[in-house]
Amino acid sequence: MVACLVTAPTVTTHGGTVEGVIEATRETFRSLVAQGLVLVDVWGPECRPCLALMPHVERIAAERPELSVVKLEAPKARRICIEMQVHGLPTFLLLREGTEFARLSKSTISPGELEDWLDESIGEAGGSETAASG
Which pLDDT does position 8 carry in this prediction? 37
Residue 46 amino acid letter:
E
Q: Helices in 44-110 by DSSP H: which ranges? A: 48-63, 78-83
Q: What is the pLDDT of residues 22-58, one digit of tens each?
A: 999 999 999 999 999 999 999 999 999 999 999 999 9
41: alpha, beta or left, given left = phi > 0 and alpha = psi -120 to 50? beta
Helix, strand, or coil here: 67?
coil
User: Is pLDDT at 96 greater than 70 in this prediction?
Assistant: yes
Which pLDDT does position 50 carry in this prediction? 97
Phi, psi (deg, nearest 5) at residue 123? -65, -40
Which pLDDT does position 5 carry in this prediction? 45
Q: What is the distance between the alpha carbons of residues 87 and 67, in angstroms, rounded to a whole number?
A: 24
Which pLDDT does position 43 carry in this prediction? 97
Higher pLDDT, 126 or 36: 36
User: Is pLDDT at 16 greater than 90 in this prediction?
Assistant: no
Q: Enter the pTM of the model.
A: 0.81
Q: What is the distance between the alpha carbons of residues 132 and 55, in angstroms, rounded to a whole number?
A: 28
CATH 3.40.30.10 for the 3-125 domain, yes or no? yes
The domain segmentation of the chain, as residue ranges, is 3-125
Q: What is the pLDDT of residues 99-118, one digit of tens each?
A: 999 999 999 999 999 999 99
128: alpha, beta or left, given left = phi > 0 and alpha = psi -120 to 50? beta
Q: What is the pLDDT of residues 66-93, one digit of tens each?
A: 999 999 999 999 999 999 999 999 999 9
